[in-house]
Chain A
Amino acid sequence: MEKYDIVIIGGGPAGLAAAVAARKAGTKSILILERDRELGGILNQCIHNGFGLHTFQEELTGPEYAARFEAQVLELGIEYRLNTMVMDISREKLITAMNRERGMYQIQAGAIVLAMGCRERSRGALNIPGYRPAGIYSAGTAQRLVNMEGYMPGRKVVILGSGDIGLIMARRMTLEGAEVKVVAELMPYSGGLKRNIVQCLDDYGIPLKLSHTVTDIKGKERVEGITLAAVDERGKPIPGTEEDYECDTLLLSVGLIPENELSGQMGVELNSVTSGPVVNESLETSVDGVFACGNVLHVHDLVDFVSEEAAMAGKNAAHYVKDYVEKCTEKSSGYGKVISIQPTGGVRYTVPSFIRPENMVDQLTIRFRVGSVYKKCYVSVYIGEERIIHKKRPVMAPGEMEEIKLEKSRLIGCRDYETVRIQIEEA
């Protein structure tokens, strides 16, 4: 059976950055497994600009950003396999994979980095009545069809959900000659980045209807139209507000869900808010030696932060492999005290969920999202009753990931099982 020190599941932005960092941290035997026909993952279909401002200090398109990391992977001689689907991972890190050439086969890994990304929420999750006609696509599927396969999904388009992919596709379909009639958003605020609302909708005069949803899809063979209605504060359609739109295509941009079937099967503990693994300061999951990063851990807005997070996971996986060989002992036990991070008062979740202070870097980035729009507020961090961080933020929104830095020096004196609370406070 084949053996690798580190096997990385997924060759998208997270997997590539993790592989590069693991190699730079000294691990020689690394394998990336990718199910698609090329490396780069979702970046290959994100042909718009706006990537890389943090990582490379220049503005790149998705394919260009991916190419930078692919070049590093090739230069470092890191092995990868395309068209390879991972079927199962055991707690002992035995990976069962499948491809056309080898059939079903197994690989023993010393450490694993989960980098499978996320999947789009589909119509089935939304309870929209109507038939099942052709012409209903998730925004990401439409993006792949237009940008990679060269097909136009339709000519008259309505978009439900104002996630970033939906906004990007509103512009893309318009440039390709389609008429995008409206973008409807159930919530009273958009789930997308402000810059995308301006540059993808306002630039092209596409209306954004907040607190609206699709209540009916017309057409049996092909979408012929949809009904839009305003919703109340509980998200229920308000009778009498219905408006009909004639269209042949409905794109859904209604959320992304980390793809954790493999993680779940192997018994990795998942966070019910993020649908991603619960991880510690090293981005290690509840299964020893299994790390997670990128959109499989929690859905990101910016790939630059995915790369940063993934590099940390890759580096930690490399350290894990090295320690394991040197000490030949279980690592996660005997690492001293554990501090949990508790999201409260408007903070929905944090990554990581707990910290072993002895093991943390001097300044650890904690990423989180808030549950609604906050203006002129503070992000506060408490240990017990003591407030250790009180950072002013002019505005925070669920669509924009936030971060704070925790100092090792502040946590090292904590008692075992002490809680660090992160919350939003009004000014």
Chain B
Amino acid sequence: MEKKELICINCPMGCPLTVETEGNEVLSVTGNTCPRGESYARKEVTNPTRIVTTTVRVREGREKMVSVKTETDIPKGKIFECVKQLKDVELMAPVHIGDVILENAAGTGVNVVATKAVL
């Protein structure tokens, strides 16, 4: 059995949560004051995901950088690999919001798209 300490982020309460797990199975969640705390804890210990945002270089545009994001959240463990892949990407202006910058980032099946127009 393994114990993990988390802070719930659903509201400013920030309940300190304790999750007991056995392998990939959640045995118990304690410390939460509402049901949202429990579902947050279950997701966080079994499959934590995040939207990743960073920047990519652009040539011949009005700005040197364009901001980008993963279209949906990706596994937390893939964040650094995703950012690293984007380091090697260089775009040519113009770039538009929603343009796909990188397909299947870090093998997650999720695309990275531009979040700003650089003309």
Contacts and interface: CB of A to CB of B under 8 A. Distances in A.
Interface of A: 44, 47-49, 59-64, 67, 146-150, 175-176, 193-195, 197-199, 202-203, 394-397, 400
B79 interface: yes
Given A193-B12, A199-B50, A394-B13, 8 more contacts: A47-B67, A67-B117, A175-B52, A194-B7, A194-B12, A394-B33, A395-B14, A396-B12
B67 A61 contact: yes
A150 B61 CA distance: 13
B51 A198 contact: no
Contacts of B93: none
B79 A59 contact: no
A64 B115 contact: yes
Given A64-B115, A148-B63, A150-B64, A49 B53 contact: yes
B51 A194 contact: no
A203 B116 contact: no
Interface residues of B, number: 28
A88 to B, nearest CB: 30
B92 interface: no
Interface in B19-74: 33, 50-55, 57, 63-65, 67, 69
A48 B7 CA distance: 21
A175 B64 contact: no
B94 to A, nearest CB: 14
Task: For the complex of A and B, list the 7 residue pairs with the smallest distance between their C-beta atoms, beginning with the closest.
Answer: A47-B67, A63-B116, A195-B9, A61-B115, A194-B14, A150-B65, A150-B64
Interface centre among A47, A48, A148, A394 (most CB of B within 10 A): A47
B64 A149 contact: yes
Contacts of B69: 47, 49, 61
A175 B80 contact: yes
A197 B63 contact: no
B76 interface: yes
Contacts of A400: 12
Given A147-B67, A394-B33, A47 B53 contact: yes
B97 A67 contact: yes
A202 B63 CA distance: 32
Contacts of B50: 199, 203
A395 B12 contact: yes
A63 B12 contact: no
Contacts of A202: 7
Interface string B94-119: 00010000000000000000011100
